[in-house]
């Protein structure tokens, strides 16, 4: 299986980008509108030729989160319920990402 491509201004193999690049900024989000992974909403805004769409609550079973550490795809529900740690490899995720959930997910 080929690796999942992450679009945007990615700066390393752990999906960090020029906007968010701390040690815990290691997820990418698949955008509903284009079915492409981006590290953050700003990368999508700068690189895509369309407006972002949010995932509906009834779509949270879709694999739309990529752990940059182990490359495991997570469902939105798994990610939201993860306690800010990858359920597969236990890598820490940025807890401040929850401030941006409204940009990606309808609650």
pLDDT at 1 over 80: no
Note the Cα 69 to chain centre separation in Å.
12
Contact by Cβ (8 Å): 84, 95: yes
pLDDT digits (tens, 9 = 90+) for 37-73: 999 999 999 999 999 999 999 999 999 999 999 999 9
Question: Residues 24, 19, 49, 63: what is their CA dihedral angle, to the nearest 10 degrees?
Answer: 0
Domain boundaries, the chain: 27-104
Question: Residues 83, 88, 90, 93: what is their CA dihedral angle, to the nearest 10 degrees?
Answer: -50
């Amino acid at each position: 299986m080929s690796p999942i491509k992450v679009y945007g201004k990615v700066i390393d193999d752990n999906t960090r980008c020029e906007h968010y690049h701390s040690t815990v900024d290691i997820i990418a989000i698949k955008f509903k509108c284009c079915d492409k992974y981006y590290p953050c909403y700003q990368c999508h805004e700068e690189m895509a030729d369309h407006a972002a769409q949010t995932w509906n609550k009834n779509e949270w079973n879709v694999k739309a989160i990529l752990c940059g550490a182990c490359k495991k795809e997570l469902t939105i529900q798994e990610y939201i319920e993860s306690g800010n740690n990858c359920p597969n490899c236990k890598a820490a995720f940025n807890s401040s990402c929850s401030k941006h959930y409204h940009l990606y997910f309808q609650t």
